Amino acid sequence: MARGKAGDPDHRVELLWRDGDPDPKRGLSLERIVRAAVEVADAEGLSGLSMRKVAERLGFTTMSLYRHVPGRDQLVDLMSDAVMAELPVPEGAGGWRARLEECARQGWELHRRHPWLAERRGTRQVPGPNGVARYEHMLSTVAGTRLTAAETIASIGLVGRFVEAEAVRLVEIAQAERSSGVSEEEWWGSRDSLYAELDRYPVLTSLWESGGYDDPEDPFEFGLARILDGIELLVQRRDESRDETSTCRICGNPVEQSATGRPRAYCSRACQQRAYRARKGSAGEPDRDLGPNGRGGARSENA
C-alpha cells in the first residue's frame, strides 16, 4: 500500500471495509499488525503508539508495516474498528430504555478497557463495519418509538457523546497521575490554600458542610440516568401528541398524525386532491380549503 494514499479518506474507507487479508498465511498480516498496535496503545496510550513500536513487537522492520497500512492514522482507524468487535451481541430484551442503557454501558466498558479510544479527536473519523453495525443497533433501540427520524439520530448521538466525554475525563485523570506521580484524590486533598479562599461563597460552603463532596454521585451513572430521563420524556410527549386526533378539513373524519411530527390536514389522498381541485376551481379567490361545513381553513398539505 502506497504511503501517498495516507491522506485520502476514500482509501481509508477501502482499507476499513476490505474483505479480509488476501493471504493470511504470510508471516506478517494486517490483522497481526492491528492486534499488536492495540496492545501497544492499551499499555502506553495513543501518545506512545508508533509504527516502530508495533514493528518491534512483531519482530519486523518498520518499513514492512507500510506494505499493509499506509500510516499511523489509518492504523488507529483499524484498531478502533477492531475493538468494536469485542462488544457482546445485544440481547434485544426489554423496552427501548433498557436496550439503549445496555448499549451505553457496553460502550463505557469498552472505553475503560481501551482508554486510548477516547484520545481520538476530530469530527471526520471514518467508521468501519463493526462501528457502523454498533451504531445501527443503537439506532434500532429507539427507532420503534414515535420519535422523529431526526430525534432518533440526535438521541443516539447524545448518548454516544456522553460516553465519550466521560471516557475523556478518565484518560485525563490517568495522564495527570502518570505525569505527576500523584493520585487525583491526593492532589485535590493537598489544596488547602485554595479551600481557605472558598468561605466567601455561601452556596458552595453549605454544600461542602452538608457532605455533598464526601460521597459524590458517580458521574457516569448520574449522567446516563439523566440523559435517558430526558429522552424518555420526549418519547412520552410524542406518544401523547400522536394520540391526539384532528378532523379532516374535507370530510370531517379523524386524521392520524404522522410520526415525523408534521401536521396532516386530510384523512386520505382523495380528500387532499378534493381540496386541491376546490382551490383551483376558485379562480381569483384566495386559496381556502373547503371544510365539511363549507368553512375555509388555513392552507396546509399532508406530509
Q: How far apart are CA 166 and CA 74, in angstroms?
A: 25
Identify whether residues 105 and 231 lie together within a single domain.
Answer: yes
CATH number of the domain enclosing 173: 1.10.357.10
Radius of gyration of the chain (CA): 28
Statement to judge: residues 74 and 17 lie in one domain: yes
**Structural domain count of the chain:** 3
CB 76 within 8 A of CB 46: yes
Instruction: For residues 231 and 127, state if they share a domain.
Output: yes
Distance from C-alpha of 18 to C-alpha of 15, rounded to nearest angstrom: 5
**Residue 201 included in any domain:** no
Cα–Cα distances in angstroms (integers) from residue 73 to residues 10, 17, 112, 249, in the given order: 14, 16, 21, 59
pLDDT single digits (tens) 94-111: 899 999 999 999 999 999
Q: Give the domain range for residue 114.
A: 96-182+218-239
Alpha-carbon gap, residue 75 to 128, rounded angstroms: 12
Q: What residue has cell string 440523559?
A: 227
To 10 degrees, what angle do helices 51-58 and 72-84 make? Answer: 60
On the question of pLDDT at 287 being above 50, the answer is no
Average predicted confidence (pLDDT) for the chain: 85
Give pLDDT tens digits for 241-254.
765 556 787 787 77
**How many angstroms separate the CA atoms of 278 and 288, rounded?**
8
pLDDT surpasses 90 at 117: yes
Would you say 255 and 265 are in contact if contact means Cβ atoms under 8 Å apart?
Answer: yes
The pLDDT assigned to 137 comes to 94
Measured CA to CA, the distance from residue 220 to residue 231 in angstroms comes to: 17
Cβ-proximal residues to 228 (8 Å cutoff; 6+ apart), any chain: 97, 100, 101, 159
CB 165 within 8 A of CB 220: no
- Residue 198: per-residue pLDDT: 92
With b for 16 or more beta-carbon neighbours within 10 A and e for fewer, the 23-40 pattern comes to: eeeeebbbebbbebbbeb
pLDDT at 2 over 60: no
